[in-house]
Amino acid sequence: MNITVERKWFTPHSTVGEMRLDGAFFCFTLEPRADQTQGKPYCIPAGQYPVTLAMSARFQMITPHVMDVPGFSEIEIHPGNFPKDTEGCCLVGSVRDVDFVGNSRATFSKLMPLLQAGPITISYVDAALAAGKP
């Protein structure tokens, strides 16, 4: 399974994107802001990373863990709605607004069974920056 998170919009508080599974749109994503000048939390660097399914100490359930991220640890894909709910992780939801994703628990519940088979990789792509958008 190849997960792609295409980062579309950057605000002073968050990074909003779209998650694709093997190229097909699945949901919206929310990560911390891209601006690193204020220190963490900020979104992880664009790139491709391996993903493992493992127990989350924070959430006490199995979550996808994004591995080998330079300067970060415990990066997960998990439910949440607002920038305050992530410390570098990727939140998922079926609806979005400025600094918000909604229906997060239901979206996460739909995602997990799709990730059960085979190796998983995730690619973070900064589409908005590549297009010259703020």
Predicted pLDDT of residue 131 = 47
Percent of the chain whose predicted confidence (pLDDT) is above 90: 91
CA gap 57, 76 in Å, rounded: 11
Please give the average per-residue pLDDT across 91-102, as a whole number. Answer: 97
pLDDT, position 118 = 78
| In the predicted structure, residue 26 carries a pLDDT above the cut 60 | yes
**pLDDT band at residue 132 under the 50/70/90 scheme:** very low
* Amino acid at residue number 131: A
Task: Give this prediction's pTM.
Answer: 0.92
Q: What is the pLDDT of residues 65-76, one digit of tens each?
A: 999 999 999 999
Find where tokens 């093997």 sit.
22
Range scoring the smallest mean pLDDT among 52-61, 101-110, 125-134: 125-134
Domain boundaries, given as residue ranges, for the chain: 2-130
Rg (CA), the chain: 13
Give the pair of three-digit tokens for residue 30: 């929310």
HSE of 107 in the Cβ direction (CA atoms, 13 Å)? 25
Residue 81 near residue 94, CB atoms below 8 Å: no
